[in-house]
Structure 1
């Protein structure tokens, strides 16, 4: 739960500053589009960092990466809060994004370390909820803080929360990566007994660290561009991630610019989105119970495609919510329409994200951190771009058609889980990276045949 809390704080830090972008623009005498870059560079950092931190965690272990990167993030929040110029804010915000990306990436590997496939559903739901609840709560808290103080206090609250989770994760979370634990035990035994034969695979790997790191750094890119499962799941999650960050810009457009609401009142409009996320997360025990039944039916070896069932059922909530948001956003209509459109979006987010993460982890068990790093990279670059062009898109297409365009994109992506339901096992069978048990069923469609 400490790791999930850390992911929540990281996600909160990414969005809380959206509450007072105008304040940043005014103080540094830049446009609001330029001020939005402080969000984009943070999200880009989410994409860059995992490419290094995921493989580093497979060399040095998870815990040291968690602790060191969070400490770096805590340190560089301070210059953001006291920045005297725009360049300082952007540079330090970029470093924070890179440093904060580690928990978001490593948690998938941590879950794979601690729980078996059939036990991973509920913990993965907690992890999946955190990155979406955090951004939904960020504008809500930030709106009230910015109305009462100024944009700088939005960074001080980040510092307080980040320091708390750094202390928790540094002093309460042990190492979970098995090769690192074994290497430490072997080192201790060599020291105590003087017997040099106590070694692990890591110890007998004589390749230079630079060569090993180079291989690990390339792996996420190999998975992203050579593995169809990783690529298409990453595209789908990128669309969802972009929609989330689009809301951070779209809500102020709809409520502050069109309806004249304050930042704090606009923040309240994110509540249905957060409630949708919480309701979805609350359903995870039932989803996991269904998965455990499938584990029993398939003698403990269900195909990874069994994880796609919630995805296939919930993918429709995203376009439904977007179309509600789009066509109730006229200035003369009641404020509740667009806000309530956030509920099905939030509800669908967690089922989709949870299923996608479980599917990647089950499909690439020993490469879980690298597979999630590849997904995080592409989704982060897309999310960063969405922040920059959302306002222009709404100005040119109009509020209704801009949101509808994204709804149609979400609708098109609904075919992805069905594609892998039918062909996923065959794709994995041809992969040199994917995990495949000899005992598992040959395809997701065989699950239907196995049902009584």
Structure 2
């Protein structure tokens, strides 16, 4: 427990304020002895390497050499090593020494307790659970505002389009976040924990003005900034899971986490809807303050650092202080020294948009995922028109209709995990990583179900048809959309694994921006065309995407041959 607390934000401050007298690391204890002689750090089994070469003989479980493969469900699976299984024997890992004398700091042994891969199951569950709850909090904050829109219109005398900005700007805001925080997550000295805690603290502070202000412009600005600073876990969480989980366990956590990313906005109207029947519209924001502040306190005291780059970087600093030998360096320090700031920013910010512009496969995947996400947010505009206006539901009861979303996920997620357990994982272990188009098969199997679900919702949204029927269409769409999005993420990760993190950040931005726009254009569309006509238009676009998916599956290999990015 002491080692867990030591690597938390609270542990950092205790060490800093006590000048490292409390919560000491092994290297700081007087009786510490490295498992290899420090006067000859290379040891008899060590090898030499140049400054930019990857070290050899490293633990098969250590992924610190490929820390740019952040992703979203299944993306990390396909970019992981297929032989990434837990060690059953213990051996000392001797450090590698470069030709110029640099000593590469690694784990001391294959069962080094500082390695997140070697943490206990309970500790890993605590870490994954906290990150999932953090993600839930940020996503919940988007749609918790949706039931307040009529009250905001009444208080400020504004149009529905203006009042809906409170939802749209939040969704757009957490689309900008990954573009800024993705390069920051590449800085080893910052680590994952530093980014999570600092941005969550800022997020919590910025929610407070939304509960107090009666200025509509101030409220809108605060909503945007809340989402912006709350965005890091939306794109970095899968990388944190990869820090601690082996290949055979990772998909289960990723599947649940990705389900939470969709479920949280759906629960917002349910929780806030009943509250706003008796309270002022600000209470939906009060609830977000309570949740965010509670999560912040828990993470501050109990979320340890998981980044191997950060852990080994700080170990290298302690070994330099212990031995007086300035040649001790972590792999992340060596890698960082060989990269310029402009190169990091270009790969993180410019490169993914260049690839979207010049590679039709990447562009299609970005648009397809963004469309699935945007249609989900269109439900926040169409549901009140159907279930309140047509069927006379109260505000609280109308929120309950969003339970159709987690029901769809409850069907899709077990099917995905069964597919992984009984087919995908055995296939990968036997045949290795297949061609990228292999990962499109799941999407092909369900791509027609998404438009069918939308057409059911569109054509049965009528006062003369029982309200349960259109919700069946929502369940069908949401289950299919979940599979489609995961399939596309896996496809992207396999085409350009070098730029996976940047591509996922761009994908997150694109789908958030389109979803934010959908919130604003969907209500006028439904007003002009009716819910049936407007949702039918969306269903027609999904039919087109289903056809293009088939084309991509059969022509993807030819497109890759013509791509200028495959060899980069």
TM-score, normalised with respect to structure 2: 0.71
Q: Cα deviation per residue 1:30-67 (whole Å; 9 max; x = unaligned)? A: 11210100111111112111101111101233221111
Of 156, 160, 163 in structure 2, the residue corresponding to residue 32 of structure 1 is 160
Residue aligning to 2:381: 249
Do the aligned partners of residues 276 and 435 (structure 1) sit closer, same or farther apart at CA in structure 2, a change above 3 Å counting? farther
Do the aligned partners of residues 421 and 127 (structure 1) sit closer, same or farther apart at CA in structure 2, a change above 3 Å counting? farther
Question: Are residue 296 (structure 1) and residue 426 (structure 2) matched?
Answer: no
Of 173, 193, 208 in structure 1, the residue corresponding to residue 323 of structure 2 is 193
Instruction: Give 3-state SS (helix, strand or coil) of 1:199's partner.
Output: strand
Q: Cα deviation per residue 1:387-421 (whole Å; 9 max; x = unaligned)? A: 01111101111221111110111121123543443
* Residue 227 (structure 1) shift: 4.2
Of 222, 227, 230 in structure 2, the residue corresponding to residue 97 of structure 1 is 227
Which is further off, 373-382 or 169-178? 169-178
Question: Are residue 14 (structure 1) and residue 136 (structure 2) matched?
Answer: no
Of 482, 485, 489 in structure 2, the residue corresponding to residue 357 of structure 1 is 489
User: 1: CA distance between counterparts of 2:427 and 2:555?
Assistant: 19
Which is further off, 20-29 or 361-370? 361-370
Give the 5 Å matches for 1:333-344.
Answer: 333-344=465-476
Do the aligned partners of residues 174 and 405 (structure 1) sit closer, same or farther apart at CA in structure 2, a change above 3 Å counting? same
Q: Which runs of 5+ in 1 are unaligned?
A: 437-452
Residue aligning to 1:80: 210
Residue aligning to 2:266: 136
Question: Are residue 64 (structure 1) and residue 197 (structure 2) matched?
Answer: no
Q: Which runs of 5+ in 2 are unaligned?
A: 1-128
Of 337, 340, 357 in structure 2, the residue corresponding to residue 225 of structure 1 is 357
Q: Cα deviation per residue 1:328-367 (whole Å; 9 max; x = unaligned)? A: 1122322222222211122112212222333333444443
Of 501, 512, 521 in structure 2, the residue corresponding to residue 389 of structure 1 is 521
* Residue 206 (structure 1) shift: 4.6
Check whether the contact 2:213–2:219 (CA below 8 A) recurs between aligned residues.
Answer: yes
* Residue 141 (structure 1) shift: 1.4
Of 281, 285, 289 in structure 2, the residue corresponding to residue 151 of structure 1 is 281
Check whether the contact 2:182–2:502 (CA below 8 A) recurs between aligned residues.
Answer: yes
Check whether the contact 2:454–2:473 (CA below 8 A) recurs between aligned residues.
Answer: yes
Q: Cα deviation per residue 1:223-276 (whole Å; 9 max; x = unaligned)? A: 433444432211111101111100001001112233332111111211222211
User: 2: CA distance between counterparts of 1:391 and 1:316?
Assistant: 25
User: 2: CA distance between counterparts of 1:3 and 1:49?
Assistant: 17
* Residue 176 (structure 1) shift: 3.3
Check whether the contact 1:124–1:354 (CA below 8 A) recurs between aligned residues.
Answer: no
Do the aligned partners of residues 69 and 372 (structure 1) sit closer, same or farther apart at CA in structure 2, a change above 3 Å counting? same
Residue aligning to 2:397: 265
Which is further off, 83-92 or 338-347? 338-347
* Residue 195 (structure 1) shift: 1.2
Do the aligned partners of residues 206 and 301 (structure 1) sit closer, same or farther apart at CA in structure 2, a change above 3 Å counting? closer
Check whether the contact 1:367–1:433 (CA below 8 A) recurs between aligned residues.
Answer: no
Which is further off, 267-276 or 214-223? 214-223
* Residue 318 (structure 1) shift: 1.3
Residue aligning to 1:317: 449
User: 1: CA distance between counterparts of 2:370 and 2:323?
Assistant: 52
User: 2: CA distance between counterparts of 1:320 and 1:158?
Assistant: 35
Which is further off, 162-171 or 184-193? 162-171
Instruction: Give 3-state SS (helix, strand or coil) of 1:398's partner.
Output: helix
User: 2: CA distance between counterparts of 1:71 and 1:360?
Assistant: 32
* Residue 375 (structure 1) shift: 0.4
Q: Cα deviation per residue 1:160-210 (whole Å; 9 max; x = unaligned)? A: 222233334444333333333332222222222221111245434458975
User: 2: CA distance between counterparts of 1:422 and 1:181?
Assistant: 44
Check whether the contact 1:124–1:357 (CA below 8 A) recurs between aligned residues.
Answer: no
Do the aligned partners of residues 120 and 363 (structure 1) sit closer, same or farther apart at CA in structure 2, a change above 3 Å counting? farther
Residue aligning to 1:379: 511
User: 2: CA distance between counterparts of 1:315 and 1:79?
Assistant: 43
User: 1: CA distance between counterparts of 2:567 and 2:394?
Assistant: 51
Do the aligned partners of residues 234 and 338 (structure 1) sit closer, same or farther apart at CA in structure 2, a change above 3 Å counting? same
Check whether the contact 2:183–2:345 (CA below 8 A) recurs between aligned residues.
Answer: no
Check whether the contact 1:63–1:174 (CA below 8 A) recurs between aligned residues.
Answer: yes
User: 1: CA distance between counterparts of 2:193 and 2:359?
Assistant: 28
Instruction: Give 3-state SS (helix, strand or coil) of 2:329's partner.
Output: coil
* Residue 374 (structure 1) shift: 0.7
Instruction: Give 3-state SS (helix, strand or coil) of 2:180's partner.
Output: helix
User: 1: CA distance between counterparts of 2:256 and 2:565?
Assistant: 27
Instruction: Give 3-state SS (helix, strand or coil) of 2:463's partner.
Output: coil
Which is further off, 245-254 or 366-375? 366-375
Instruction: Give 3-state SS (helix, strand or coil) of 1:334's partner.
Output: coil
Question: Are residue 53 (structure 1) and residue 181 (structure 2) matched?
Answer: yes
Residue aligning to 2:345: 214
* Residue 29 (structure 1) shift: 2.3
User: 1: CA distance between counterparts of 2:191 and 2:404?
Assistant: 38
User: 1: CA distance between counterparts of 2:462 and 2:333?
Assistant: 64
User: 2: CA distance between counterparts of 1:435 and 1:416?
Assistant: 25
Higher helix share: 1
User: 1: CA distance between counterparts of 2:494 and 2:237?
Assistant: 14
Instruction: Give 3-state SS (helix, strand or coil) of 1:258's partner.
Output: coil
Length, aligned pairs only = 435
Instruction: Give 3-state SS (helix, strand or coil) of 1:84's partner.
Output: coil
TM-score, normalised with respect to structure 1: 0.89
User: 2: CA distance between counterparts of 1:302 and 1:117?
Assistant: 16
RMSD (Å), alpha carbons: 2.5
